[in-house]
Amino acid sequence: MEKRLPLQQVPTPAYVIDLPALRKNGERLKYVSDNSGAHILLAQKAFSSYSVYPELAKYISGTTASGYFEAQLGYEEMGKPFGKETHVYAPAFTSEDMDKLLPICDHIIFNSIAQWKTHRAKASAFSKENGGVQSFGLRINPEYSEIETDLYNPCVTGSRLGIRKCDLDNELSDFYASSDDPESRKVEGTILEGLSGLHFHTHCEQGFEPLFRTIKVIEEKFSEILMLPSITWLNLGGGHHISKDDYDRDGLISEVKRLSKKYNVTVYLEPGEAVAIDAGYLIGSVLDIVENGIRIAILDVSAACHMPDVLEMPYRPPLQGSFEAGEKEYTYRLGGNTCLAGDVIGDYSFEAPLEVGSRLYFTDMAMYTIVKNNTFNGMPLPSIWILGDDGLCTLVKEFGYEDFKMRL
């Protein structure tokens, strides 16, 4: 029997995906797509809860993946049943990867010239045998990004992600010299033969303005390739907060239309956060309260296990009914129930004291949580629920000891 409960009665720990909020994001993404012609894909690395893919399919063009498992998931749960696109990019593919990816992917994006050379013959042959349904592209590195945290910046010196302009120049010196007109240059016999598009991903939690400035750099460095008739698409990657209230969606629409017209390409966007932002909760309960210079509430949810970006980014997650430390009378440090000393979610204050059994609702917890959680220390994985329009939560999945054991 289907288990349905009010949000306030969902057992903790639990992730709750807010379906109405997910639809709101989808509507904003569809507005951009409908008015610009852009194809918008779900980056599954941020959100892969496929039970809501049928709903998301109403708003987006498909999924993009970071490897075979994600690609297969996107193909099975959105691509095949709903006729949507399935894209994949990874820093490197094996020959076995290609055997699995070619039958299910519409676009395959390669990270290096060497990777493309390694797999081009197999990829091109498969595409030709199947009516040319596959399209292949290269990830470029413009060596320009406005991401301030190096951990998330793919354009820092030493990055393994993407092909620099100098890398292409070394390969294409004769090609560039063959004509003054990019549109008349012949790609046959060069590494560009068999390629249909370029991809870049240089953003993280950013608005339209950084994208606008990045596109200027892309055009300065790579316009000669974009002008080629054989290049039919340009993928602007992810990291765009398209669905946030303050995002300049009309500016994005205008820029997509300009690029499409100037280069005669289809423009792709592959947000992850913009699909699932502000569309979920992580609900936890207070297990104990101790003191050591500050009140410390020990929870059944863990930064290390259930929201790793809190430690990796790092950041302090939003919490319903809370305030900055010291702002209200009762301040607590919230920590997880693991042996990691640094398993701390953050310091918060409250208008009333916490007690053992108090429920805490962390918000914006749909993205980069379920996909990244783990069972360090044997911590239980939170169950997954979907909050519907009627205010009731439907259980999607519960986890137990066997889920912990079978990962080992």
69-123 pLDDT per residue, tens? 999 999 999 999 999 999 999 999 999 999 999 999 999 999 999 999 999 999 9
**Model confidence band, residue 177 (pLDDT cutoffs 50, 70, 90):** confident
Instruction: Tell me: do 240 and 286 sit in the same domain.
Output: no
pLDDT value, residue 179: 81
Q: Does any domain span residue 3?
A: no
- pLDDT tens, position by position, 333-365: 999 999 999 999 999 999 999 999 999 999 999
Neighbouring C-beta atoms of residue 70, cutoff 10 Å: 20
- Asked if 207 and 243 count as a contact pair (C-beta separation under 8 A), the reply is no
Alpha-helical runs (H) found in 264-306: 273-276, 303-306
Q: Does any domain span residue 22?
A: no
Alpha-helical runs (H) found in 178-248: 208-226
Instruction: Tell me: do 315 and 214 sit in the same domain.
Output: no
Q: Does any domain span residue 181?
A: yes
Find how far residue 283's CA is from the centre of its chain: 23
Instruction: Tell me: do 212 and 105 sit in the same domain.
Output: yes
Residue at which a domain ends, from 232, 253, 276 = 276
Instruction: Determine the angle formed by the axes of helices 249-263 and 19-36, rounding to 10 degrees.
Output: 40
Higher pLDDT, 174 or 280: 280
Residue at which a domain ends, from 276, 298, 328 = 276
The arithmetic mean of pLDDT across residues 166-190, rounded, is 88
Q: Does any domain span residue 9?
A: no
Q: Does any domain span residue 346?
A: yes
Joined tokens for residue 287:
């297990």
Share of the chain above pLDDT 70, in %: 100
Q: What sign does the dihedral 201-202-205-207 (CA atoms) show?
A: negative
**CA distances to 330, 331, 355, 382 from 296, in Å:** 11, 9, 11, 22
Share of the chain above pLDDT 90, in %: 94
- Check which CATH number belongs to the domain holding 249 and give it: 3.20.20.10
Domain hosting 389: range is 280-365+373-406
**Model confidence band, residue 185 (pLDDT cutoffs 50, 70, 90):** confident
Q: Does any domain span residue 2?
A: no
Q: Does any domain span residue 308?
A: yes
- pLDDT tens, position by position, 21-46: 999 999 999 999 999 999 999 999 99
Instruction: Tell me: do 284 and 272 sit in the same domain.
Output: no
- pLDDT tens, position by position, 32-82: 999 999 999 999 999 999 999 999 999 999 999 999 999 999 999 999 999
Phi and psi at 95, nearest 5°, equal: -60, -35
Q: Distance between CA 88 and CA 104 in Å, rounded?
A: 10
Instruction: Tell me: do 315 and 215 sit in the same domain.
Output: no
Instruction: Tell me: do 75 and 139 sit in the same domain.
Output: yes
- pLDDT tens, position by position, 195-210: 999 999 999 999 999 9
Instruction: Tell me: do 180 and 241 sit in the same domain.
Output: yes
pLDDT at 292 over 70: yes
* Number of separate domains in the chain: 2
Instruction: Tell me: do 149 and 285 sit in the same domain.
Output: no
Q: Does any domain span residue 23?
A: no
Instruction: Tell me: do 216 and 322 sit in the same domain.
Output: no
Instruction: Tell me: do 317 and 401 sit in the same domain.
Output: yes
Residue at which a domain ends, from 255, 276, 297 = 276
**Model confidence band, residue 1 (pLDDT cutoffs 50, 70, 90):** low
Rg (CA), the chain: 23
Instruction: Tell me: do 158 and 266 sit in the same domain.
Output: yes
The arithmetic mean of pLDDT across residues 240-250, rounded, is 98
Instruction: Tell me: do 228 and 302 sit in the same domain.
Output: no
- Check which CATH number belongs to the domain holding 320 and give it: 2.40.37.10
Nearest Cα neighbor of 242 from 233, 232, 252 is 252
Phi-psi label, residue 205: left if phi above 0, alpha if psi -120 to 50, beta otherwise: left
